[in-house]
Amino acid sequence: MSKHKKTHLPKKTCNTCGLTFNWRKKWEKNWEQVKYCSKKCRAKKSIINN
């Protein structure tokens, strides 16, 4: 049985930490609005912007 390789998934760069992250199923409906790779980075956004 072969494993699926997920090389075709879109990628974005996190606005807070700058890391590249891949598309996830949970972001399927709002991928265009996703800006942060994690809850931790989303929480840090206000600290960095101030």
pTM confidence score: 0.69
The Cα 7–Cα 11 span in angstroms is 10
Look at residue 26 and tell me whether its pLDDT is greater than 90. yes
Nearest of 6, 42, 40 to residue 24 by alpha carbon = 6
Q: What is the pLDDT of residue 8?
A: 86
Q: What is the pLDDT of residue 44?
A: 86
